Amino acid sequence: MTNVQLQSDERIDQLFSQDIQIIQSASVFAFSLDAVLLAHFAKAPKGGRGLTVDLCAGNGAIGLFYSQKSLGPITEVELQPRLADMASRSILLNGLEDRMNVLNIDLADTLDFIEGGSAETVLCNPPYFLNSESSQKNPNEHLAIARHEITTNLDTVCQTASRLLKMNGKLFMVHRPDRLVDVLSAMQAVRLAPKRIQFVHPKAGKEANMVLIEAIKDGKSGGVRVLEPQVVYDDNGQYTPMIHQVLYGE
């Protein structure tokens, strides 16, 4: 792996199950479990050599984790220059510059840089929260943009994903359960047919706090599968065997 220069507030973390290293910064952005679970949930197409686009890429974690499943090119799209730079350096750190790149652009401009209908897979961990005058936002601008629909929104994300995807290409998204109706409506409005849904619960008996969704471009309506839920922690506050395996391997 290539040595890269770190800024004073940065560190290198590792996803041990995949031997992937990520440049992180608590003051700017650090990936969390939703990124790991989305990359685990996403299925690479047969052959795995088609284009993947990671929208709202942040520091590039999801695309980097997914790179272990796919043999094809991966383009990460991130608006914030600092995060795009972190993602670029993490790509170098893992020796993946031959098939991964970062576009530091507004998500709405993605089709100016990537040909429509060229992607087999789109990944996205979008901002979860609606942007309103009354919503409480993190005073840190980097974190506020990552969490609230300040610079993009669900409709734009889904429309961009649909335009990027080939017929029968797949979108994989993680979001909050309380916005599931919004997510499904936004997908269906742009020819994305939801096909797999999996809820993630912090503990057994607790309400889900994440939902993973797979949708197919121009797929037939109906046939939605709700998978067995994922539970993150057991009664002792330890990771459940499935989550431990996703994070640390066998």
The 10s digit of each residue's pLDDT in 133-151 is 555 545 555 444 545 455 6
Model confidence at 88: pLDDT above 90: yes
State the pLDDT at residue 138.
55
pLDDT in tens, 43-80: 998 887 899 999 999 999 999 999 999 999 999 999 99
pLDDT digits (tens, 9 = 90+) for 165-189: 999 999 999 999 999 999 999 999 9
The pLDDT assigned to 16 comes to: 83
pLDDT in tens, 105-115: 999 999 999 99
pLDDT, tens digit, 9 for 90 and up, residues 26-43: 888 888 899 999 999 999
Q: Tens of pLDDT along 220-242?
A: 888 999 999 999 999 999 999 99
pLDDT at 137: 46
3-state secondary structure the chain: CCCCCCCCCCEEEEECCCCEEEEEECCCECCCHHHHHHHHHCCCCCCCCCEEEEECCCCCHHHHHHCCCCCCCEEEECCCHHHHHHHHHHHHHCCCCCCEEEECCCHHHHHHCCCCCCEEEEEECCCCECCCCCCCCCCCHHHHHHHECCCCCHHHHHHHHHHHEEEEEEEEEEECHHHHHHHHHHHHCCCEEEEEEEEEEEECCCCCCEEEEEEEECCCCCCCEECCCEEEECCCCCECHHHHHHHHCC
pLDDT for the residue 221: 83
pLDDT the model gives residue 136: 57
* pTM for the predicted model, two decimal places: 0.91
Q: How far apart are CA 99 and CA 74, in angstroms?
A: 6
The pLDDT score that the predictor gives to residue 148 is 47
In CATH, the architecture of 13-248 is: 3-Layer(aba) Sandwich (3.40)
